[in-house]
Copies of this chain bind each other. A is one copy, B any other.
Amino acid sequence: MAAAPFISTSSTRARAQDSRKLGVAVCGLGKLSTDQIAPALMKTKHCRLAGIVTGTPAKAEAWKAKYGIPANSVYSYDTMQRMADNPDIDIVYVVTPNALHAQHTIQAARAGKHVFCEKPMEISVERCQQMIDACRDAKRLLGTAYRCQYDPHHLECIRLVREQVFGKPTILQAGFAIDVGPADQWRLKRELAGGGALMDVGIYALQATRYLTGEEPILVSAVETKTDPVKFAEVDESIVWTTKFPSGVVAYCSTSYKAGRIQNLRVNAENGWFELDPAFFYDGNHGRRSDGKEIRFPEIDLFAAEMDDFAQCILEGRPTKVPGEEGQRDVRILQAIYESVRSGRAVSLA
């Protein structure tokens, strides 16, 4: 999976040699940024919280006070372009609603910043392409925040598949469902979210089937249900889907904003199986294998791990394993799943 080409500027290298930490501006100060990303930035080896972008002055004040962010590194969405004059910021971590990712990524890239973008990358393949183009044109790295690709439990599952420890994989199963919470949030508004459970948490199940197989699906087929059409008037509540991969592996998957806790990933192979349950939490993921062994590793901060790797890619001038193209691939498949729901047909991706 190739990354967009970029050039690590000599000034970035020089500063990195001094501090070994790249400055990260968090763009969008919602719950994820507050509860996960900011605390994780306190643990990173190669990053530091250097700035913020927010539309809410009260949040700006709270973050300034808590993290000692200087006033000249606090931006609104309208003033982001001024970051071009701020050498203290190397990376913008875009954590805004899905349908604003392109706008904020492009602004950051034009200001000369590398961009790390939350999933889903955007709400259409075309917007993902605009983001990729903008970062390529600015010679900056674009990464997608797929934290599970840094989770030792998922990496172990990938190893078990690649080394065929239980033979060739045959049927994958993955599901991620959460209770989305209050009805007044942006995740339930089509204009900002682009979609519902599938875009937000189903994407983890989809990603997992892709990085486990190391293949791209050639066929998807999906069925939707909506048990609460008022709350979920604008976005999908629950979707189940099946996927076929070129090697013959098939997957059956689920996602929901209302089905309680589905949190699992299972690989059925010729000579056995292994699974993670829970699979997609921030921590506490673990699993088991058909030979009785456990899949359990010491906890790490996944947000710190993915940000440190992204920073190291910049410092070392190498591609990331989670480039914009990777985010775009998932968006394309998510759109095909929606198309299958709408059309009642299996959708070919070959």
Interface residues in chain A, defined as those with a beta carbon under 8 Å from any beta carbon in chain B: 166, 168, 170-171, 173, 175, 177, 219, 221-227, 238-244, 247-254, 256, 258-262, 268-273, 290, 340, 344-346
B223:A242 contact, CB within 8 angstroms = yes
Known: A219-B223, A345-B346. 17 other contacts (CB 8 A): A170-B238, A171-B240, A173-B175, A175-B252, A177-B268, A223-B244, A223-B250, A225-B248, A227-B248, A238-B250, A241-B252, A242-B242, A252-B254, A260-B271, A260-B290, A261-B272, A262-B273
CA–CA, A249 and B290, complex, Å: 30
This protein's copies in its complex = 2
A248:B226 contact, CB within 8 angstroms = yes
A240:B238 contact, CB within 8 angstroms = no
B290:A261 contact, CB within 8 angstroms = yes
Contact of A243 among B223, B244, B248, B256 (CB under 8 A): B223
CA–CA, A227 and B101, complex, Å: 40
Contact of A225 among B173, B175, B241, B244 (CB under 8 A): B244
Chain B's nearest CB lies how many Å from the CB of A289? 12
Chain B's nearest CB lies how many Å from the CB of A198? 13
Contact of A268 among B247, B256, B290 (CB under 8 A): B256
Set of chain B residues within 8 Å of A173, measured between Cβ atoms: 173, 175, 252, 254, 262
Please judge, given known A-B contacts A262-B273, A344-B346, A345-B346, whether A256 and B170 are in contact too, CB under 8 Å.
yes
Set of chain B residues within 8 Å of A243, measured between Cβ atoms: 223
B290:A170 contact, CB within 8 angstroms = no
